Structure 1
Amino acid sequence: MIEVYTDGAASGDPGLSGAGIFIKDGKKTYDYKFPLGSMSNHQAEFEAVIKGLQVCRESFQDEILSFRSDSKLVVDVIEKDFTKNQTFLPYLQEIRQQIEAFPHFFIKWIPEKQNKQADQLARQAIRLN
């Protein structure tokens, strides 16, 4: 099972943003940071999950994925597979499509203090814009 920690950050809301992905595969770890341009913090959080799924499609095909995020909003939308917010709907649709490539996908909320690596990567990604 692959553990994927995701975080999105924005400097301003909206503002320059970034996504950080920290992946654990047994004893190996992988760091990814993606500058995202200008968007809201919530949008950056969704983008971080999408970027994490894209990385997993390239490097961890056919693996069971366990995603972790400190965004209750993102976790709730994905778990319930529903949002009334039209801004978030395209993100949910993209995530639905991406997870079809994997045998199992799980996502759970974690406190910020358990997501420090992904948070640092997201903040570094902002500076890459």
Structure 2
Amino acid sequence: MLEVYTDGASSGDPGPSGAGIYIKNGKEQHEYMYYIGELSNHEAEFWAVIKALDVCKENFPNEILSLRSDSKLVVDMIEKEFTKNKNFSPLLEEILKRIQTFPHFFIKWIPEKQNKNADRLARKAIHKVK
């Protein structure tokens, strides 16, 4: 089972944004960061999950995923598979579609202090403009 930590960061709201992904696979650790454009903080959190699912599909396609995020909003929407927010709806749909490609998917909210690696990567990605 992969432990996948995600975080989105925005410099401004909206502003330049980054996605950080930290994956633990047994004793192996993998780090990914992406500049994701001008987004709100919440949008960056959604995009971090989307990017993480894409990375896992490409590199670990048949693994069980245990995704962790410090965004209560994102975790709650994914667990409920529902949002009334028209801005978040297409992002949630993309996430739910990607989840279906894995044998099992779990998501868990974690406090920020347990998400330092993904946070570091997301903040670094803001300055890594493509």
CA distance in structure 2 between the partners assigned to 1:97 and 1:76 by the alignment: 17
Matches for 1:38-77 after TM superposition, within 5 Å: 38-77=38-77
CA distance in 1, matches of 2:112, 2:99: 24
In the TM superposition, 1:25-44 aligns within 5 A as: 25-44=25-44
Query: Matched residue of 1:12: which SS?
Result: coil
The unaligned stretches of length 5 or more in structure 1 are none
C-alpha deviation, 1:62, in angstroms: 1.0
SS in 2 for 1:84: coil
For 1:61 and 1:82, how far apart are their aligned partners in 2?
A: 25
Aligned residue number for residue 91 of structure 1: 91
Tell me which amino acid in the other structure corresponds to 2:122: A
* Consecutive unaligned residues in structure 2, runs of 5 or more: none
Give the TM-score normalised by the residue count of structure 2.
0.98
Q: Which runs of 4+ in 1 moved over 6 A?
A: none
* CA distance in 2 between partners of 1:70 and 1:92 (Å): 16
Aligned amino acid, residue 58 of structure 2: E
How far does the alpha carbon of each residue in 1:43-102 deviate from its partner, in whole angstroms, 9 at most, with x for none? 000000000000000011111000000000000000000000000000110011101110
